[in-house]
Amino acid sequence: MSEKKKNLIDRVWDLFASLKLAIILFSLIALTSIVGTIIEQNAEPEKNLIVLKRLVGEDFAPTAYRILEAMGFMDMYRSWWFITFLALFAANLIICSLDRLPRILKLVKEPIKPISPEKISAFPIKKEIRLNGTPETLKDTLITSLRKLGFKALNNSSMEGEGYQLYAQKGNWTRLGVYITHLSILVIMIGAVIGIFFGFKGYLNLPEGYTSDVAYSRNNGQPHKLGFSIRCDDFDVEFYGMSEMPKDYRSWLTVFKNGQIVMRKMIEVNEPLKFEGYTFYQSSYGVLSNTQGYFIFKVTGPGGKSETITKQFGETFTIPGTNIVGKIVDYSPALALDQSGRAYTYTNMMNNPAVYIEFTENGKPKYSGWILRRYPKTWRLPDGSVIQFIDYWGVQYTGLQVRKDPGVWIVYLGCIIMGVGLYMAFFMSHRRIWVLVRKDGKHSTVNILATANKNRPAFERKIEAFISQLKKEV
C-alpha cells in the first residue's frame, strides 16, 4: 500500500485494529458499569432517589435523577449506548484479530530453519559445552535426549567441516492461544444474544396436586405456552436438625405430553429438571391460604396392624384393630409453645406442622393432644398406637423458575474455549532449539541455542537439566 493518503475504510480498519481503542473501551465499559452498580437497575424511582440523596444531597437529587434517567442509567445495561460499547468492543476484537491473524498463522506454519553459526550470539538462551567423542558417535545420544525433552520431529542438516545441527520446535500452535481466547469472547457474546432473542425467562408457582401447561413471563407476567404440562406431586422442606434453617427443599414433578407421562423427577436447589429446552429450577416455596389440605398419617394400632390414611380437617378415622376414633380438630403450620405452655403459630410457613387430634372410644373422650410432624415422640399414644404424621398435602406450592435459553450451550462452549485459550496463552509456549555439533580434535563442541516466546527461564532450566544429563551419559 502506498504511504500516501489512506482512504476512509483503511483508517476505520486501523482504528478498529488498534490496541488503543481496546484500552479505551475497557475503560469506558468498566467506568460506566460502576454507575450501574450504584444506581439500582430497574428499581422504583424512590429507591434511587434515596441513594442519590445520600450521594449528592437533598436538593440536587431530583435533578440528578432526571439527568441520569434521561441518559438511560436506570436500566443502563440495556441502554443503546452500553450496547453500542459492547458492539464496538466486539468489532474491535474481530478486526484486531483478523488484522494480526495472517502474520501469526505464518509464524505458526513456518518450518524451523537451520541457523548459521555467526548468528549464535543473538540468541536469548545459549550454552556451549564440550563432550568426548566425535559428532557422529554423539548423534544417537543427542537425538534420544532431545526426544526426551519433548522435541519429537527433529531436523538434521550438516554443517561445514565435520559437524551437523539438530533443530526442532514445538508448541508453535500455542501462539494461537490469544486468538482462541478472543474468539471465545465472541462465542459467548453470540450465545448471549441468541438467549436474549430466542429465550424465555419466567416463573411458575405450582401448588401440590396442580398441573399447568403455561409459565409466566418475568418481563410482563403474561402466560407462555410450554407445549407440555407439568404437575407438582409433592413439595417438602428439610431442616438442619431441629432448627429453623432449611437444609434443602424439593419438589416431585411429573411432565405430561399428549396426556402421557413422559418424565418424573425430584428437583432440588441446584438440581433442576430439563425437558424440551425448558429448565425448571427450584427457587422458592410458599403456603396457599384458604385451602383445605389432606393430612396423611400412617396409623399403627397396638396390635401392630398399620394403615395409611388421608383425611381432611374435621374428619375422623379409626385406629386399626381398636374402637378408638380420632378426629382432627386443630392444625398449625408452625407450632410453638409460649411461656405458659399455650400453643401458638409463629409463622404461616410449614416450619413445624402440627395437628390436634381428639380420640374417643365408643363416643367417650379418651385422650387428645398435638401431634408434630418433626417430633416423632409426639406420635405415640398412651395405648401404644403410633400416629405417624407423614404430610399435610395440598397446601404448599413450589416456586419454580422456568427458563428456555437456546444460547446457553453456546455460552458454555465459549467458556470451554476460553479455558483452553487462556491455558494456551499463559501456560504454554512456542519453543525452539538448535543443537550445533562440531568436531574439535578428539572432542566435540556442542552449542545449544533456544528461544521461547513465554516463560523463558523455565525453558532455560529444562535445557540446563538436559545438559547435565548429557554430560552424565557421555
Partner 1 sequence: MDNSTLFGIATIGYILAMVTYIIYFAFRNKTVGIIATTFTVSSFVAQTAAFFMRWYEGYEMGLRSFWRPPISNLYESIIFFVWCLILGYLIIEFKYKNRSFGAFVTPIAGLALAFIEMTGMSKEIEPLVPALQSNWLLAHVTMSFISYSVFALSFATALMYLIEKSEDKKHWTYIFWTVSLGILLVLLIGMGLDYLKFHVVATSATNIRNFLFKATFRSDSPVIVAVSWLGAIGLIALIWAYGHKLKKIVAAFNLSPEILDELTYKLIAIGFPIFTLGGLIFGAIWADQAWGVYWSWDPKETWSLITWFVYAFFLHARLMRGWRGNKVAVVAVIGFVTVVFTYLGVNLLLSGLHSYGSLS
| Gap between the Cα atoms of 343 and 335, Å rounded | 6
- DSSP code for 365: E
Contacts of 327 (CB under 8 A, 6+ apart): 314, 315, 316, 357, 358, 359, 360
375 binds, among ligand HEM, partner 1, none (CB under 5 to 8 A by kind): none
Judge contact between 236 and 262, C-beta under 8 A.
no
Number of CB atoms found within 10 A of residue 89's CB: 19
Judge contact between 307 and 298, C-beta under 8 A.
yes
| Gap between the Cα atoms of 466 and 449, Å rounded | 13
Binding of ligand HEM at residue 89 (CB under 6 A)? yes
182 binds, among partner 1, ligand HEM, none (CB under 5 to 8 A by kind): ligand HEM
201 binds, among ligand HEM, partner 1, none (CB under 5 to 8 A by kind): partner 1
Min dist CB 173 to ligand HEM, Å, is 14
Binding of partner 1 at residue 20 (CB under 8 A)? yes
| Gap between the Cα atoms of 319 and 306, Å rounded | 8
**The three cell numbers locating residue 177:** 492461544
| Gap between the Cα atoms of 432 and 174, Å rounded | 13
Contacts of 103 (CB under 8 A, 6+ apart): none
Contacts of 8 (CB under 8 A, 6+ apart): none
Residue with cell 553459526: 117
One-letter amino acid for residue 312 of the chain: Q
Binding of partner 1 at residue 330 (CB under 8 A)? no
Binding of partner 1 at residue 77 (CB under 8 A)? yes
Q: Select from 81, 198, 344, 412 the one that contacts partner 1 (CB under 8 A).
A: 412
Min dist CB 430 to ligand HEM, Å, is 11
| Gap between the Cα atoms of 50 and 85, Å rounded | 29
Q: Candidates 87-95, 161-169, 283-291, 317-325 — which segment interacts with ligand HEM by CB under 6 A?
A: 87-95
**The three cell numbers locating residue 226:** 410450554
Q: Select from 7, 243, 260, 289 the one that contacts partner 1 (CB under 8 A).
A: 243
- Closer Cβ to partner 1, 120 or 415, answer by number: 415
Restricting to residues 143-202, which ones interact with partner 1 according to CB under 8 A?
192, 201
| Gap between the Cα atoms of 318 and 297, Å rounded | 12
Restricting to residues 106-125, which ones interact with ligand HEM according to CB under 6 A?
none
Q: Select from 1, 8, 19, 70 the one that contacts partner 1 (CB under 8 A).
A: 19
Min dist CB 429 to ligand HEM, Å, is 10
**The three cell numbers locating residue 21:** 481503542
Restricting to residues 172-201, which ones interact with ligand HEM according to CB under 6 A?
178, 181-182, 185
Restricting to residues 274-313, which ones interact with partner 1 according to CB under 8 A?
279, 281-283
Binding of ligand HEM at residue 425 (CB under 6 A)? yes
| Gap between the Cα atoms of 383 and 321, Å rounded | 12
Binding of ligand HEM at residue 430 (CB under 6 A)? no
Contacts of 105 (CB under 8 A, 6+ apart): none
Restricting to residues 240-299, which ones interact with ligand HEM according to CB under 6 A?
none
412 binds, among ligand HEM, partner 1, none (CB under 5 to 8 A by kind): partner 1
- Closer Cβ to ligand HEM, 95 or 149, answer by number: 95
**The three cell numbers locating residue 254:** 411429573
33 binds, among ligand HEM, partner 1, none (CB under 5 to 8 A by kind): partner 1
Q: Select from 10, 11, 12, 23 the one that contacts partner 1 (CB under 8 A).
A: 23
Restricting to residues 9-68, which ones interact with ligand HEM according to CB under 6 A?
19, 22
Contacts of 192 (CB under 8 A, 6+ apart): 407, 411
Site for partner 1, rule CB under 8 A: 19-20, 22-23, 26-27, 29-30, 33-34, 36-38, 40-41, 47, 50-51, 54-55, 77, 192, 201, 240-241, 243, 245-249, 268-270, 272, 279, 281-283, 401-403, 405, 408, 411-412, 415, 418-419, 422-423, 425-427
Site for ligand HEM, rule CB under 6 A: 19, 22, 89, 92-93, 96, 100, 178, 181-182, 185, 425
